[in-house]
Structure 1
């Protein structure tokens, strides 16, 4: 497994390291194995299997390297998606049933799926295209479309009549969505390499999200589930060996862990046999070796489970099921086995939690523990910056998903633009009074001012919200602290240069530490009360602007429930506003996946599939 993109690109050094260790093990077996000839056969067999496993790891890292991805993985998708809309012809587009969406699930790497033919008219270059299902035909005399049963697209899965994929079974719907996630993974992978997304300008692309993913009563859960699995595939593509096993040695990969378990059992048996023989005069290290073999056996069995529970294995099963008609007519026993395999729970990197940071709570925090760890590890672990203590992670609630999706649907349905919260203020008729807080110089300043105002509103005015308001308070507070967390710890995922965002936060922390009235304040209630009493101050500080905004919020919106609804809608809109980015910053999302992922990455992926690729320069720009 790789831990960051540098590990992937440095696969040659990884290979040299494994060659050195392998040579050392061979030397040990050759020199010291002569004394125990009865153990040499299982030891050599285990060594051979270990070499094969190392080979698979190296090949998977090489496949994930940028040069290989561009030439072999992404190029076929780019060429296909350039013509995908033409391949659909006059077929009606129905996002709910995926009609007209020939997004690739599998089979794009096989050469026979692509036919090269010069244009007959107005041709200056060759075209590559492919098609799944239907008779062979030509489109406008421009290029040839061929049928290949192994070439699998999303619409073909939705048309499959097999019982395994037929709704209303919840299992069938989940399997369909796993395959959809695979197709979306192949599409979004182009952004990491700077390739053009031709489908972004098509109306059906926005409809796919608006009328497909976000349609139905469970749209909040389904949309984020599909995106979560998709980003899990992206993570695997760059950081694990599953893609290589899926494409190259699918069945061989299943055999290696089983073989290793058998060989470890063989070696353990030989140890027991020697240990029980009192005449051989040998003192076999039974306890230590058996414990080691037990650990190796457990790890291999766990690796086997992870492989069989992965989305890649599920897609491979569905691919075989759709393309081979005899599997759709299988008996109960085989169907039960497949059903059992498909029920295995996938372990993904995303935990479904939001990072939290509160400026007013942590601006004066000490860093003693962080400094101790920094020096004890000889500077290997970075120490926290001043005033940047992380808050406790909070679970991504259904209420947060709902308010974010509602905001997105409102924007897509109206055909409007993403704004930094201004539209939510207009919808609630308070924009005129609070518009200044949306027109600050940078996004980071806007986030921090609204974050401080939200914190003050929570602790000063609504310290004990009613049960009816608690959901809105929790939603607004968690989104507010998450946006502040992005500035404090992952500014690369936000608009603008990360250095500028970090500098703005550093200045705000220093201003709070040196602001005279706050000296000696301990509790959050005391800090908020002091800031509110200084909200009319003429000092040009973000903490004062935040206090001023909190005062104006309470003056403009007297009803507590309405105030928190405005704040929750504002933060949902703000998070959607900062999520899009150009391809040059897409690498930051890929790096974030290696650390477990961020909620903003899920929103970035969702907006990409809706055709929203960049953040508007100003609020008048349409997305």
Structure 2
């Protein structure tokens, strides 16, 4: 009997000890997850690294579950005390005020409200969770009956937590598909103005006035004038020093910010699939900075950053007067709670509980200060300061976080090279095949990254402008507007007088055409230019041919990445070639060196024996008679045929890589408007995609299906002569 009693005592003691430290661990873990989300929520906007996305996803899913689990533990303890199963002690008394902190954690940081765009559709579920967890927190505080000072502290935190979680629910609801579309105004109906003026004209004419109508251009220049004024504030001057150059660049960035802030109001409607009038298109073009190629892309970069905040953060609630005031109020209430806790008698409580409570209060203050700093150093506040002409405040902020050095997207494109893959037969890979995750691992393992250089931006912009000019000319030749489909390389081949020779390669199905050109690009690269595709090559080889080579190579690998990692961003494929069918074949037929993105050096097959062996294999494959039904073999043979023709006589290295890079740009431009706006928004959370920037730039130039409204010929203006 004595042994059994001792065992029961030890068991009860260890159980109570475990419950104490379990609750402390859960609360501390919830706090750690919130701190991690604050940092990851802001950096994933401009970081393309997969590990950041994975950690953010894991942290986002775990944060709510841990906070809810902690609230459940506290409420169960209170029930057991009320039922007489447990006795009240200083630990349970102090742990009750942790419940409002967990509700505050459920509100989440300002930098991330949704991990994926689909999370915005779960706002109703979060609203039910808010009611449930807020009610549970109130139950804990009411039933616990803690010290009056601690109760006052808990009420202050409870109000802050309830507001913050309610704000999160409202932001999710506002970013959901249905409510986002309904919140945006439709295009301004210009025809109503015309009808109104016409009716007034008839009325005046009936009253006996001599009415003289004439036609004027109906163009709302209010926003465009504001942009012109903003740019005119910074006149160009002769640059005599590095400081003058930096000052001029800063002023250009200020003008770019203002342009983006004016454009984002209408760009939101693109993501809601609204239609636009041609007048709106013209106004958007006036606001773009078109003198320099980087200017247009810089405007797009800032725009997409602002739109990202609307879908994935609490920007819609934060960047308002009410939101800023509420954050100041929350910061003040938490500081008051800290003062109240400091004045409480701490002798009955254990040191771990006191430390954790102080840590929760200090972390809550840190989170609110971080939120205020994040608001202060944001592009939204910078735009507001520019419009209100608070230049002194803007210069002060620019010293701490320069406008020129802010990261707004990754400025990179992910790379995927089918020619570098090797079939692995090791035990580990065979185990992955048994788990049916081999294909997924291969996709992520062989990814790389390449910078989106100014040369690529310049080539994309010149192609878009040429397309826009051609559409304008065609619109003048026929009545109404026509929007012909953007070519998939025909313009580039025509320019270099190679259309008749290579037209077959761009007339294939789009996914097959991408594969054929990708295989040809890789083979041409390895035959002549394949020294290395690392940063060292880009830094040390600045010749025009080498730049063209890298442009074509990186765009080729980016399009393959889109085809097999983001297929929804390319035109719908009917019976497309699956990754599992294509990734083995090229590497088995060609002795090309194995690479993993940009981490491994690539061996150039410039030794005569290697080059001759590769050419012999290419000739053998290109001469094979393969049915088009065997798609994998077919694209492989056609890729070899295209590479041999590009390597043929009469095609210089400069001409070859000019054709390749321009064809890839046209394919990118062809694919960009075919992707739904929601899919573009979905892929913004991983550092952004180049194809999204191209799509928005094309929309500004009126080259998407959003511009279908007929152009009103003119608006009548009435001049009434009293004689």
Aligning the two structures, in what range does the TM-score lie when normalised by the shorter sequence? 0.7 to 0.9
Please, which of 575, 578, 599 is the counterpart of residue 690 of structure 2? 599
Query: 2:424 and 2:277 mapped to 1: Cα distance?
Result: 49
More off after superposition, 367-376 vs 520-529: 367-376
Instruction: Give the C-alpha shift of residue 439 in structure 1.
Output: 1.7
Residue segments in structure 2 that go unaligned for 5+ positions in a row: 1-112, 203-211, 237-247, 475-483, 533-540, 596-601, 628-633, 707-723
Please, which of 512, 526, 541 is the counterpart of residue 445 of structure 1? 512
The 5-angstrom pairing of residues 353-372 of structure 1 reads 353-362=412-421, 364=423
Q: 1:189 to 1:54 in 2, by over 3 A?
A: same
Query: 2:129 and 2:438 mapped to 1: Cα distance?
Result: 26
Instruction: Give the C-alpha shift of residue 2 in structure 1.
Output: 1.8
SS at match of 1:74: coil
Query: 1:207 and 1:548 mapped to 2: Cα distance?
Result: 47
CA shift digits 1:42-68 (9 cap, x unpaired): 221122122112222222222223333
Which residue of structure 2 lines up, in the alignment, with residue 182 of structure 1? Answer: 261
Instruction: Give the C-alpha shift of residue 462 in structure 1.
Output: 1.9
Instruction: Give the C-alpha shift of residue 15 in structure 1.
Output: 1.1
Please, which of 520, 542, 553 is the counterpart of residue 477 of structure 1? 553
Q: Tell whether 2:304 aligns with 1:231.
A: yes
Q: Tell whether 2:488 aligns with 1:420.
A: yes
Instruction: Give the C-alpha shift of residue 600 in structure 1.
Output: 0.3
Instruction: Give the C-alpha shift of residue 454 in structure 1.
Output: 0.7
SS at match of 1:588: helix
Query: 1:223 and 1:260 mapped to 2: Cα distance?
Result: 40
Q: Tell whether 2:227 aligns with 1:158.
A: yes
More off after superposition, 590-599 vs 461-470: 461-470
The 5-angstrom pairing of residues 160-559 of structure 1 reads 160=229, 166-168=234-236, 170-199=249-278, 205=281, 209=285, 213=288, 215-216=290-291, 219-246=292-319, 250-274=320-344, 280-283=347-350, 285-319=353-387, 321=388, 335-341=391-397, 344=401, 350-362=409-421, 364=423, 384=440, 389-415=445-471, 418-440=486-508, 442-464=509-531, 467-468=542-543, 469-497=545-573, 500-501=575-576, 503-509=577-583, 511-512=585-586, 517=589, 531-534=617-620, 535-540=622-627, 541-559=634-652
Alpha-carbon contact 1:452-1:543 (below 8 Å) kept: yes
CA shift digits 1:433-456 (9 cap, x unpaired): 22221221x111111111111111
Query: 2:688 and 2:139 mapped to 1: Cα distance?
Result: 42
Query: 1:22 and 1:244 mapped to 2: Cα distance?
Result: 21
Alpha-carbon contact 2:571-2:674 (below 8 Å) kept: yes
Instruction: Give the C-alpha shift of residue 479 in structure 1.
Output: 0.5
More off after superposition, 532-541 vs 166-175: 166-175
SS at match of 2:184: helix
Q: 1:363 to 1:205 in 2, by over 3 A?
A: farther
Query: 2:501 and 2:454 mapped to 1: Cα distance?
Result: 31
Q: 1:552 to 1:382 in 2, by over 3 A?
A: closer
Instruction: Give the C-alpha shift of residue 316 in structure 1.
Output: 3.5
CA shift digits 1:375-402 (9 cap, x unpaired): 99xx9x9971766744212221122212
Query: 1:302 and 1:431 mapped to 2: Cα distance?
Result: 57
CA shift digits 1:74-119 (9 cap, x unpaired): 22xx242x439x98x9xxxxxxxxxxxxxxxxxxxxxxxxxx9798
Which residue of structure 2 lines up, in the alignment, with residue 577 of structure 1? Answer: 670
- Number of aligned pairs? 525
Instruction: Give the C-alpha shift of residue 430 in structure 1.
Output: 2.5
Which residue of structure 2 lines up, in the alignment, with residue 619 of structure 1? Answer: none
Which residue of structure 2 lines up, in the alignment, with residue 19 of structure 1? Answer: 131
Higher relative contact order (CA 8 A, sep 6+): 2
Please, which of 174, 177, 182 is the counterpart of residue 63 of structure 1? 174
Instruction: Give the C-alpha shift of residue 186 in structure 1.
Output: 2.8
Residue segments in structure 1 that go unaligned for 5+ positions in a row: 90-115, 124-138, 146-150, 322-327, 329-333, 616-623
The 5-angstrom pairing of residues 59-138 of structure 1 reads 59-71=170-182, 73-75=183-185, 78-80=186-188, 82-83=189-190, 120=199
RMSD of aligned Cα (Å): 4.2
Q: Which has the larger radius of gyration?
A: 2
CA shift digits 1:580-607 (9 cap, x unpaired): 227xx22211212234321101101111
Q: 1:14 to 1:369 in 2, by over 3 A?
A: farther
Q: 1:572 to 1:337 in 2, by over 3 A?
A: same
Q: 1:190 to 1:447 in 2, by over 3 A?
A: same
Which residue of structure 1 lines up, in the alignment, with residue 119 of structure 2? Answer: 7
Q: 1:260 to 1:400 in 2, by over 3 A?
A: same
Q: 1:179 to 1:369 in 2, by over 3 A?
A: farther
Q: TM-score, normalised by structure 1?
A: 0.73
CA shift digits 1:226-264 (9 cap, x unpaired): 011111222222332212344xxx223223334444444
Alpha-carbon contact 1:518-1:530 (below 8 Å) kept: no
Which residue of structure 2 lines up, in the alignment, with residue 93 of structure 1? Answer: none
